[in-house]
Amino acid sequence: MSADDALPTALSPAGQAAPSGRNLRGVLLVILAALLWSTGGPIVRSLATDAWTTVFWRGLAACGFLLAFIAIRERRRAVASFLRIGWPGLVVTVCNASASTSVVIAFNLTSVADTLVILSSAPLLTAALGRVVLGERVGAVSGLAMLASVAGIGLMVSDSAANGSILGDMVATVVPIAQAITGVTLRRYPAVQMAPALCAATLLTSIVAAPFASPLAVSVKDMGLLAFFGAGQLGLGLALFSFGAPLIPVVEAALLSLLEPILGPLWVWLALGERPSRGAIIGGVIVLAALAAHLRAAGRRRS
């Protein structure tokens, strides 16, 4: 049986897989998504394009990948799958497009340090929203893991220059809010096909970036990087996350997603030789230890 054949069973509310197997599959898929997303740093640093042009082509490449994925998976039902997303799919579309656009604007208006710290609040917001909407309680270990993650990422960026702006910080808060809403929606409606919604989100992102981009001023080398940046790093990452997130608690998905900002500096160091600061190394170890403690506690509860 192929991976694609197994995924619908995992997403089906009446799936045959045991709960522990579903949870493990969800954890692995979300981790793989975060690993893909974490490669964005060296890709962006290797591009000569401006931010809006990068967002424009990245969105189109991701949209093309997801369209091909949906066409292969759904075949004659591809068009109908877009019509079946319903209002949960529309929520995911708007939230993902808003987050992708807001993070670019935030990086241009405020400091990277401020942006990363604000983004690290996503698990806390997701836990609060999941408690209200889904009734999912947060255990003591998970709560401590979230607080340790925020502290660890704060330590990671402590050596950065604090030259942020209030407007940029306000724009950055859109990202964790959108991520929390997306995570809870995916958990609340696991049977909804989210790939079409995510495909629409990437297209919407390109439409928003188009007026500010210079799409024709791109070299052949950069076009190749942008194609991978969109199809592999974003498109495949979104597809994996949309399959994995509904199978695990929203807080767990949000915590695992923190692997993206943790591993990002590591790839930049390995690919470009930019050694991370001592604070970044210590902070990263703290976050990884918090995630390990959470996963261990979650595994014991499932057993």
Residue 62 has pLDDT above 70, yes or no: yes
pLDDT for position 111? 63
d(CA 197, CA 62) in angstroms, rounded, equals 12
pLDDT for position 138? 66
Burial (CB count <10 Å: 0-12, 13-18, 19+), residue 17? middle
Please indicate, yes or no, if residue 94 is contained in any of the structural domains. Answer: yes
Please indicate, yes or no, if residue 185 is contained in any of the structural domains. Answer: yes
Number of CB atoms found within 10 A of residue 83's CB: 10
Q: In degrees to the nearest 10, what's the CA dihedral of 262, 265, 271, 275?
A: -130
**Helical H segments across the chain, by residue range:** 3-11, 19-37, 40-46, 51-74, 78-83, 86-109, 112-119, 122-133, 140-156, 166-172, 174-188, 195-209, 220-228, 237-244, 250-257, 259-272, 278-302
Domain of 72 in residue numbering reads as 20-302
Residue 14 has pLDDT above 70, yes or no: no
d(CA 7, CA 3) in angstroms, rounded, equals 6
Tokens 């604090």 -> residue: 162
Which tens digits make up the pLDDT trace of 155-191?
Answer: 766 665 555 577 877 888 898 899 889 888 877 887 7
Structure pTM? 0.74
pLDDT for position 1? 33
Q: What is the DSSP string of 32-49?
A: HHHHHHTTHHHHHHH--S
- How would residue 236 be classed by pLDDT, with cut points 50, 70 and 90? very high
Which tens digits make up the pLDDT trace of 97-147?
Answer: 998 888 777 776 776 656 666 777 777 777 778 777 877 676 676 677 777
Please indicate, yes or no, if residue 6 is contained in any of the structural domains. Answer: no
The pair of structure tokens assigned to 36 is 């893909």
Please indicate, yes or no, if residue 2 is contained in any of the structural domains. Answer: no
pLDDT for position 116? 67
- How would residue 210 be classed by pLDDT, with cut points 50, 70 and 90? very high
Number of domains in the chain: 1
Number of CB atoms found within 10 A of residue 227's CB: 17
Please indicate, yes or no, if residue 297 is contained in any of the structural domains. Answer: yes
Residue 227 has pLDDT above 90, yes or no: yes
Pick the range with the lowest mean pLDDT from 31-40, 98-107, 280-289: 280-289
Please indicate, yes or no, if residue 296 is contained in any of the structural domains. Answer: yes
Please indicate, yes or no, if residue 12 is contained in any of the structural domains. Answer: no
Please indicate, yes or no, if residue 270 is contained in any of the structural domains. Answer: yes
- How would residue 292 be classed by pLDDT, with cut points 50, 70 and 90? confident
pLDDT for position 301? 65
- Work out the end-to-end distance of the chain between its first and last CA atoms, rounded to an integer number of angstroms: 27
